[in-house]
Amino acid sequence: MNTPPLMPKATAVWLIENTALTFEQIAAFCGLHELEVQSIADEEVAIGIIGFDPVANGQLTREEIERCNADPAARLEMAVQDIPRPAPRTKGPRYTPVARRQDKPDAIAWLVRHCPALTDGQISKLIGTTKPTIVAIRERTHWNMANIKPREPVGLELCSRVDLDAALEKAGYVPEPPLEDSDAFPVEQLARTEPDPPDRDPQLG
């Protein structure tokens, strides 16, 4: 299996826009699924991603692209590079699908409101966002504050319940115990009790 190029989705965007390669050829080169490449071409995913030119960056040659253009069964071969590839990241914010990224401010607002024990660093790791964004929402200076509605991040699929619980435990959050039935104040006792009317004086008959 070939090593995928740097910025595979951005590379796929460029190949779709600038070559006659098939989705299958692009998918094989970029390490993506063919349906994912088709979705990129249909602008269903990778919206807003700027194409990354693999020729200008030494990952492909123009001759290699022309060879595969002429033969749909051929597969692109990565150009030999003398420049070492950067080491892959093992830590950092989790990847969030494009369709979910617009939900991040809502999730941040929910965590800020309902989980005050969490630090900005913990929220950043949970949601995959930046600390300035969290501060802006916390201080209500975010540019889109009027449209942000707090929504639970687990329901938005931005983090798992396990990760959220682990972060809260690390922050020292202890949930309040539920109110016992014996401590509950009966609703009936909240109603005002009117005194019994006095006995009628028989002389007033």
Q: Which two tokens stand for residue 53?
A: 């030119």
Element spanning 27, H or E: helix 23-30
d(CA 119, CA 131): 10
b/e per residue 39-76 (b: at least 16 CB within 10 A)? ebbeeebbeebebbebbebebbbeebbeebeeeeeeeb
b/e per residue 79-118 (b: at least 16 CB within 10 A)? eeeeeeeeeeeeeeeeebeeeeeebbbbbbbbbbeebeeb
Q: What is the pLDDT of residues 14-58, one digit of tens each?
A: 998 888 899 999 999 998 898 888 888 887 776 778 888 888 888
pLDDT at residue 92 above 50? no
pLDDT at 49: 80
Q: What is the mean pLDDT of the chain?
A: 77
pLDDT at 25: 93
pLDDT band at residue 197 under the 50/70/90 scheme: low
Q: Are 162 and 169 in contact (CB under 8 A)?
A: no
> Over pLDDT 70: what percentage of the chain?
72
Instruction: Name every residue whose Cβ is closer than 8 Å to that of residue 66 and which is 6 or more positions away in sequence.
Output: none
pLDDT at 75: 92
Q: Which two tokens stand for residue 79?
A: 């150009």
**How far apart, in Å, are the Cα atoms of 27 and each of 9, 33, 70, 88?**
10, 6, 17, 20
Torsion-angle region of 58 (φ positive above 0: left; ψ -120 to 50: alpha; else: beta): left
Q: Which of 66-70, 88-92, 108-112, 179-183 shows the lowest mean pLDDT across its residues?
A: 179-183
Q: Write down the domain spans for the chain.
A: 8-70, 98-170
